[in-house]
Amino acid sequence: TRILLAGDSAGHVSPLTGEGIKFSMIAGKMAAEAIIGYFKNRVKLKDVAKIYLGKLERSFYGRFRREKMLLKLSERRGISSSRLVYDKKIRNAIAEFYVDKTDITKKLPFIALRALKTYILG
């Protein structure tokens, strides 16, 4: 079968927020671009999936991996998110992430240091 998945069926949902509509639309566009490449004779059929997956990898797959890593780390360390929101700077970073202003995983060093301070100093 020659099928490209996008959206929920492909797991294009943020591990941290559950947001998926934006990522589904991006993936759908990328799938369409890869298929159009085939119909315009620029891409061989066997390469359509590789091109699509490459586009996904460069787009948001890295972000999803970092989000999963952040979740695993917080679960392993027993970090309670409720304690983190007492810190105004962490709260602002999380808010920026939820409104998609920034990729929170790029602020991990900042958040880790602020979280450590919150846990040590209370």
Q: What pLDDT was estimated at residue 70?
A: 74
Give me the pLDDT at residue 89, please: 75
Reference 2, options 58, 40, 50; nearest CA is 50
Evaluated on CA atoms 84, 12, 33, 56, the torsion sign reads positive
Domain boundaries, the chain: 1-61, 79-122
Does the structure show a pLDDT above 60 at 122?
no
Q: What is the pLDDT of residues 45-103, one digit of tens each?
A: 999 999 999 999 999 998 898 888 877 766 766 665 566 666 777 777 777 777 767 66
pLDDT of residue 44 exceeding 70, the answer is yes
The DSSP secondary structure of 38-69, one letter per residue, reads: HHTTSS-HHHHHHHHHHHHIIIIIHHHHHHHH
- Which of the two residues, 104 and 24, has the higher pLDDT score? 24
User: What does the pLDDT look like over 3-13, one tens digit per residue?
Assistant: 999 999 999 99
103: CB partners within 8 A, 6+ apart: 63, 66, 97
> What would the two tokens of residue 119 be?
């846990």
